[in-house]
Chains A and B, each alone.
Chain A
Amino acid sequence: MSSSKSVGLREKAAKFLSDQVYLPYVGPISIWILLFVFAPLGVVLYFSFLRVGPFGQILNSFTLEHYRLMLKPTYIQVFMRTFVFSFGTNIICLLIGYPLAYFIVRCGGKWKTFLMFLVIVPSWTCYLIRLYALKTLTGNGGLINEALLNLGLISSPLNILYTPFAVVLGLVFGFLPFMVLPIYASLEGLDPSLLEASEDLGATPLKRFFTVTLPLTKGGILAGTILVFIPSLGEWLVPMLLGGAKVMMAGNLIEEQYIKLGNIPAGSSIAVVLTTIVVLIIYLSVKMGGEEVLERMM
């Protein structure tokens, strides 16, 4: 304790440096996020308050006009549709994804890996091309209609393509694997005897399923929900390709404003609203399901 002041300072500096050892690790991402996430989002927020000139130039004057425009019935309708579709997609994905995951886990062994593989591989194919393939399949002259016609089940082709139904179908088609994966992971994490017990106890297996298995896989379901619901909210390719560009979702509004009309402030305001909603939902679901869901997402 007899050390002079300067030594104390040097020690302090050395200590400070040795305390910052984490910097080389988290420094790069911090800078990256600051530069390419926060800054652009900030710019979007800023632009969303700017006025637009007659030729679409951005003027440096403040306005709330773009946000006011969002209250237009057409916009509200689009946002409502976005929600309904995303929610519906989520429910459908859950309803068909859960039994599938359950089935796969029950199959066990080598089959398990193979069956899971079958779920994942389609998602490695170019998303656009998959949607295109779905389009080919569901068209009036597509395989489905042709098969139904040949079987005599229908007399005239079903209108599937370019309907809201086609949009939801496309969303489910695109995001189903994201629901199956976390549910599969949480089911697999369960004690296998629990699954067996819920079947062998005979009397009320369904009840057991609802009282034991389902609550235990809640985390997986929540994670799946986040993984499906969030991207559905921002989707724009499906409505464009399968909805015939007439069943718009919020993502289409943004794309249209940014790219088609080049109205950056208007596009920005929609982007701000959509992002706020998404972040809010994530926040709420994390609060509800706790950190655990967050961990599961990884």
Chain B
Amino acid sequence: MKMKNFLKGKREVYSFMAGALVVLLLLAGLPACAPAAEEEGPAAGETAYDKYVASLSEGEYPVPCECFEQAQEEGELNIYDWAEWWPEEIYTDFEEEFGVKIVRDNFASEPEVVAKFKLNPEMPYDMITGVAIRSVIQIMQLDVLQEINHDWLPNVSAYIGKEFTEFEYDPGAKYSVFSDYGTDSYWYNTEYVDDARIPSWAVLFEPDEKYKGKITLVDDMFKSLAGALAYLGYPVDSDDEAQLAEVRDLMMNLKPYVMAFDSYPKRLALEGEAWISQGTYGDGFILNKESGGVVTAQPTPEGSRLLSDLLLIPKGAPHPAVAHCWINYLYRPRTTAFLCGSIGVQPCSQASLEFLPEDMREWWARVPEGYVASCGVIGERAVTGKGLELRTAIWEELKS
């Protein structure tokens, strides 16, 4: 159809083929130019484990030999996570050290992960990273997760804070392991926003007239509405009809002020297009480093929502031992600190704090004592039955 006018004669056709071939060769050549990253691990199994154990620094515990050897056999790790989130080195270092290949796929939202599980309970990923408690709850209801073998995770046992293993939805962290946590907040641009109410949620949810079309909300109904619930003083996982009716009114009033729904409106905030954005406290750290004009408010006195990033191993995982090695690897204090420092989240292990960059430690220090503990978690009430129904209705009305 389109080509009709260009490919009239045979000669053109052949020339086009030649051209297309050159283009393809160019494309195929691109990857070839890049340095080959993969290297074979040590050959003999026994020495490999010894070598691995010997290579560990102080305070880093090895996975048991059994796990290591099984991992060597499996040789691969399929990770399903957010795009361009964790630093590349985390993956490449692991690949090098364990001699396995990491294959990564990205999801764009947590509901996408849940939906994929609903469609295919045997999803063949070894590791799902960065999902929140409420997604874990939904996933656990589908009975698609593998029980985690904590004997294979000495670093986790040694370093994880007890408060992160005692959640009601998964006591003893049998199916999910925290990788990090944080809190919701909002960012504002000091160039445009000057409001005495800072750091209250009110700045975001009942904004001044002049902020019309300058506000962004997170494109996720649970997170977005959790902010509103917190502002109104209700539990963030409420399924109370009256409370959610209030939320609805609040959100509908807010609608004309909303410029866009964007889960990570980094660009909008930095460009000064969005003046007030709902976002996490940790992301705020990154943004503040990029542009001093973007400041993060830790919503007080209302409190906020606890955000959680969890690691899961699906039942269909073809390489569970590598997945355990991975979790254990992430819990090395230096690795934890490097990860959290790069992406602006709080580590769940005290031991890693000392390895955090200075500015980051300061950033976390600004969070008032006891603030995190006061934050609510979106739990079962919100993600099933009435809670889900009411939220969906508000969300659809808001976005349509």
Contacts and interface: CB of A to CB of B under 8 A. Distances in A.
Interface in B376-400: 384-385, 392, 396-400
A113 B268 CA distance: 40
Contact of B5 (A113, A140, A244, A246): A113
A273 B213 CA distance: 33
B144 to A, nearest CB: 12
A162 B109 CA distance: 20
B260 A140 contact: no
Given A162-B259, A248-B400, A260 B6 contact: no
B271 interface: yes
Interface in A239-283: 243-246, 248, 258-262, 264
A248 B384 contact: no
Contacts of B5: 113, 116
Contacts of B2: 120, 123, 177, 181
A117 interface: yes
B400 A244 contact: no
Contacts of B259: 161-162, 244
B262 A54 contact: no
Contacts of A97: none
Contacts of B69: none
Of B114, B115, B272, B384, which is in contact with the most chain A CB atoms at under 10 Å from its CB? B115
Contacts of A264: 118-119
Contact of A245 (B141, B219, B392): B219
Among B109, B138, B273, max chain A CB count under 10 A is at B273
Contacts of B115: 258-262
A244 B112 CA distance: 19
A298 B4 CA distance: 10
A78 B400 CA distance: 6
B272 A260 contact: no
A268 to B, nearest CB: 13
Contacts of B396: 72, 74-75
Nearest to A296: B1
A139 interface: yes
Interface in A43-88: 54-57, 72, 74-75, 77-78, 81
A185 B400 contact: no
Given A141-B273, A260-B111, A262-B115, A244 B260 contact: yes
B153 to A, nearest CB: 29
Given A77-B400, A259-B115, A244 B392 contact: no
Nearest to A58: B118
B271 A245 contact: no
B118 A181 contact: no
A211 interface: no
A124 B271 CA distance: 29
A74 B119 contact: no
B264 interface: no
A258 B260 CA distance: 22
Nearest to B108: A259
A253 to B, nearest CB: 8
A30 interface: no
Contacts of B6: 113, 117
B118 A246 contact: no
Contact of B262 (A78, A244, A248): A244
B261 interface: yes
A140 B142 contact: no
A72 B397 CA distance: 10
Nearest to B213: A159
B112 A259 contact: yes
Nearest to A139: B273
B258 interface: yes
Interface in A281-298: 298
A193 B216 CA distance: 57
Interface string B248-280: 000000010011111000001001110000000
B235 to A, nearest CB: 20
Contacts of B261: 244-246
Nearest to B110: A260
A185 B3 CA distance: 12
Contacts of B258: 244, 246
Given A181-B2, A259-B112, A262-B111, A245 B262 contact: yes
Of the candidates A57, A116, A246, the one having the most CB atoms from chain B within 10 angstroms of its own CB is A246
B112 A260 contact: yes
B112 A185 contact: no
B1 A298 contact: yes
Nearest to B265: A244
B106 to A, nearest CB: 13
Contacts of A260: 109, 111-112, 115
Contacts of B392: 261
B118 A245 contact: no
23 contacts: A55-B138, A55-B384, A57-B118, A75-B400, A113-B6, A117-B6, A139-B271, A140-B272, A140-B273, A141-B271, A141-B273, A162-B259, A244-B216, A244-B259, A244-B261, A245-B261, A246-B255, A246-B261, A246-B398, A248-B400, A259-B109, A259-B112, A298-B1
In the A-B complex, the 5 residue pairs with the smallest Cβ-Cβ separation, listed nearest first, are A244-B260, A262-B115, A245-B261, A260-B111, A74-B400
Interface of B: 1-2, 4-6, 109, 111-112, 114-115, 118-119, 138, 141-142, 213, 216, 219, 255, 258-262, 268, 271-273, 384-385, 392, 396-400
Given A116-B5, A244-B258, A260-B109, 18 more contacts: A57-B142, A72-B396, A75-B400, A77-B400, A78-B400, A117-B6, A120-B2, A139-B271, A159-B213, A161-B259, A185-B4, A244-B216, A245-B260, A245-B261, A246-B399, A259-B115, A261-B392, A262-B115
